[in-house]
Structure 1
Amino acid sequence: SEGGRTEERERGAMARGLRRRGLLVLLSVLLLLLSGFPLSLCGPKKKAPPAARKEDIPFIRCQVCEKIAYQLHHQVKKEEAQISPKKVSELQIIEIAENVCNLKKEEADWLLRIDIVEKGDALELVEQETEGHCNSECKTIERACQEVMGYSDTDVAEFIYTSKPSLDSLVKFLCDDLSKSCLTKPPPVPKDRAPGEPFAPKSSKDAEMEKILRSMEVTYLHI
């Protein structure tokens, strides 16, 4: 009966929720053990997670948009090379576009290699050689990325799939036509703007550990 099926779906959803909560606890403990952090020092006080500085977004919006376009173009080309001679499907491109601004996804790892540097009355996004710890600058770039993409991921994916644009054409489509992020010059940065944190590179151990944990989480959630 319909009532029975509904009850079965609810039980399934509850079971999945419990598994996910259990995974989060397991991953937290594993992270502490692998990092060598003594569990006895885990007290009730927790440092607040870094938050985006929304006031900085107008100064970097256009640059972020251009980097999104580059990442979409680069990641689709990379996927094409990996599955050749097969062709990348529109659904695969949509998945890249959906994840490119989500730090929980591999497609957004590029966000961890960007430092915001103040130069005169402007902010400049400077790419680093290694990934860094995600501080408020990293969160600010992620937030700007999400604002640029908005609900346009499927539109961008369709354009890439049907038009196979050059990088310049994709930048124009995303940053001028669609999001309008680069139509106007960014305003000057106020002289009293508080400087952001310095870029803090991750150790190779930390970077590898995070990738392992993310892989475990993805595997578990697909059980």
Structure 2
Amino acid sequence: MVEVNRVLIAVTLALLASSALLPVSYGAKKPLSSAPRKEDVPYIKCQVCEKLASRLHQLVKEKQLQISPKKISEYEIIEIAENVCNLKKEEADWILKIDIVENGDKLQLVEQEEEGMCNSECKTIEAACQKVIGYSDTDVAEYIYKSKPDLASLVNHLCKDLTDACTKNPPPLPKDRIPGEPFVAKPSKDAEMDKIMRSMQGMPGAPGMKVYSREDIEKYKDNPGKFGNEDEDDSDEEEDDKFPKNLGKVLKEKESSKKEEWRKTITKELKKKGDVLKRHAQKVSNRVRRWWKRVRSSSSKKPKSEKSEL
């Protein structure tokens, strides 16, 4: 827990510092709308389904390579399928690189090289993705696990068999449709930090750990003393105080002959969780340090005239 707190402090300080280095004009910009345009979903759901299937196929292959020679489990594939349409998760990074463009009487999804600022178009793609996969995440995961399909077969199964995303052509686009926002590339430093934050979101061994977005950091930039929820530390201590009591209650409910077995099992699991958490915390901490080093290096190289303008 101490290691996690150190990582969170490092991330918080890095974000606060990077926010302070931003030009005043950046902070003065009107925030982009982030509400999804649900009326656009019917026009893009087939394309979203195809890209979703492609991303699923890629993520499963990457996971298999990562854990090789161990075989990927159905549960791990289900977890990927559950996260691939959730922008708070790493698996949904693909959504941030897509722009919605009007092409005649149709909407076209155009993939960009860089991540963009998440505005209403980004949220619309997320909404379409969630609508497509719906309750089919476990079904498509089972299909991938058992059939090991190629990409074309997976697209056909997900978009035509499990769902109706591509069973018919999308309707023509209304002529009075208001165009969406232009694609705005996210600064590379912001994109890298957001990626770190998303990776921390699913860190095992730290349930309930709160991860702050850039918007949260901006809100507390002028008053860092109020950053976060002070009650969280107290609640953590209360949880720790209750843990031995709850553990004792569980042990008392078991037969006396099984008490020692339960103690060994719980101790083993706690040690395992602690080791996993320590490795993840160290990994994230190293990434944060490297990122912060680059931020300081690039800032020190800026000419004085440029700094005065900021």
TM-score, reference length from structure 2: 0.58
Q: Give the match's secondary structure for 1:175.
A: helix
Name the residue aligned to 1:210: 194
Partners of 1:203 and 1:95 in 2: how far apart?
30
Asked if the contact 2:32–2:119 (Cα under 8 Å) also holds between the matched residues in 1, the reply is: no
Partners of 1:140 and 1:221 in 2: how far apart?
31
Name the residue aligned to 2:259: none
Aligned length: 198
Name the residue aligned to 1:33: 17
1:102 matched to 2:89: no
Unaligned runs of 5+ in 1: 1-22, 39-45
Name the residue aligned to 2:119: 135
Partners of 2:16 and 2:100 in 1: how far apart?
30
1:92 matched to 2:76: yes
Q: Which amino acid aligns with 1:148?
A: V
Partners of 1:49 and 1:118 in 2: how far apart?
19
Name the residue aligned to 2:158: 174
Name the residue aligned to 1:4: none
- Structure 2 residue aligned with 1:149, among 133, 158, 162? 133
Q: Which moved more, 1:29-38 or 1:115-124?
A: 29-38
Q: Which amino acid aligns with 1:73?
A: H
Summarize deviations over 1:133-164 as a string: whole Å, max 9, x none. Answer: 10100000000000000011000000000011
Partners of 1:154 and 1:218 in 2: how far apart?
19
Q: Which amino acid aligns with 1:100?
A: V
Name the residue aligned to 1:197: 181
Partners of 1:37 and 1:50 in 2: how far apart?
25
1:117 matched to 2:63: no
Shift of 1:33: 3.3
Q: Give the match's secondary structure for 1:191.
A: coil
Name the residue aligned to 1:57: 41
Asked if the contact 2:89–2:201 (Cα under 8 Å) also holds between the matched residues in 1, the reply is: no
Name the residue aligned to 2:221: none
Q: Which runs of 4+ in 1 moved over 6 A?
A: 25-29
Name the residue aligned to 1:68: 52
Give the 3 Å change call, closer, same or farther, for CA 160–27 of structure 1 in structure 2.
same
Shift of 1:172: 1.0
RMSD: 2.7
Partners of 1:104 and 1:93 in 2: how far apart?
18
Partners of 2:105 and 2:151 in 1: how far apart?
28
Partners of 2:112 and 2:139 in 1: how far apart?
30
Could you say which structure has the larger radius of gyration?
2
Shift of 1:27: 7.0
**Percentage of matched positions with identical amino acids:** 65
Shift of 1:179: 1.0
Q: Which structure is richer in relative contact order (CA contacts within 8 A, separation 6 or more)? A: 1
Asked if the contact 2:89–2:202 (Cα under 8 Å) also holds between the matched residues in 1, the reply is: no
Summarize deviations over 1:112-144 as a string: whole Å, max 9, x none. Answer: 000001000000000001111101000000000
Partners of 1:114 and 1:59 in 2: how far apart?
15
Give the 3 Å change call, closer, same or farther, for CA 174–210 of structure 1 in structure 2.
same
Q: Give the match's secondary structure for 1:116.
A: strand
Partners of 1:87 and 1:77 in 2: how far apart?
11
Asked if the contact 2:95–2:126 (Cα under 8 Å) also holds between the matched residues in 1, the reply is: yes
Summarize deviations over 1:151-187 as a string: whole Å, max 9, x none. Answer: 1100000000001111111111110011111011000
Shift of 1:206: 0.5
Q: Give the match's secondary structure for 2:180.
A: coil
Asked if the contact 2:37–2:124 (Cα under 8 Å) also holds between the matched residues in 1, the reply is: yes
